[in-house]
């Protein structure tokens, strides 16, 4: 892999998810800080957080519905 290329969308998504759960590797973190654009990670982080929160909300609603509450 060429280390001068910016991270791909999937690499950024992986980095955002790993960082959200606190398991980001040092190699990927270094790549992100040297070749990634902060704005891309901020936008992807906000979107990931919104999707994660909505997914949790949906699961809770489903469980409550199935429980008859």
Looking at residue 11, its pLDDT comes to 93
Domain assignment present for residue 29? The answer is: yes
Domain assignment present for residue 55? The answer is: yes
In total, how many domains does the chain have? 1
Q: Report the sign of the C-alpha dihedral through residues 26, 28, 34, 37, in that order.
A: negative
Domain assignment present for residue 1? The answer is: no
Domain assignment present for residue 2? The answer is: no
CA distance 34 to 7: 10
CA distance 14 to 4: 19
Please give the residue range of the domain that contains residue 16: 9-67
pLDDT level of residue 60 (50, 70, 90 thresholds): very high
Domain assignment present for residue 4? The answer is: no
Residue 2 clears pLDDT 60, i.e. is over it: no
Domain assignment present for residue 3? The answer is: no
Residue 3 clears pLDDT 80, i.e. is over it: no
Instruction: Check residue 36 and give left, alpha or beta (phi > 0: left; psi -120 to 50: alpha).
Output: beta
Residue 62 clears pLDDT 80, i.e. is over it: yes
Q: Do the beta carbons of residue 6 and residue 37 sit within 8 Å?
A: yes
């Amino acid at each position: 892999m060429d280390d001068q290329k910016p991270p791909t969308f999937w690499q950024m998504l992986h980095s955002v998810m790993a960082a959200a759960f606190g398991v980001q590797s040092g190699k990927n973190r270094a790549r992100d800080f040297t070749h990634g654009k902060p704005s891309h990670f901020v936008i992807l982080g906000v979107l990931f957080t919104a999707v994660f929160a909505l997914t949790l909300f949906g699961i809770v609603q489903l469980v409550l519905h199935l429980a008859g509450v």
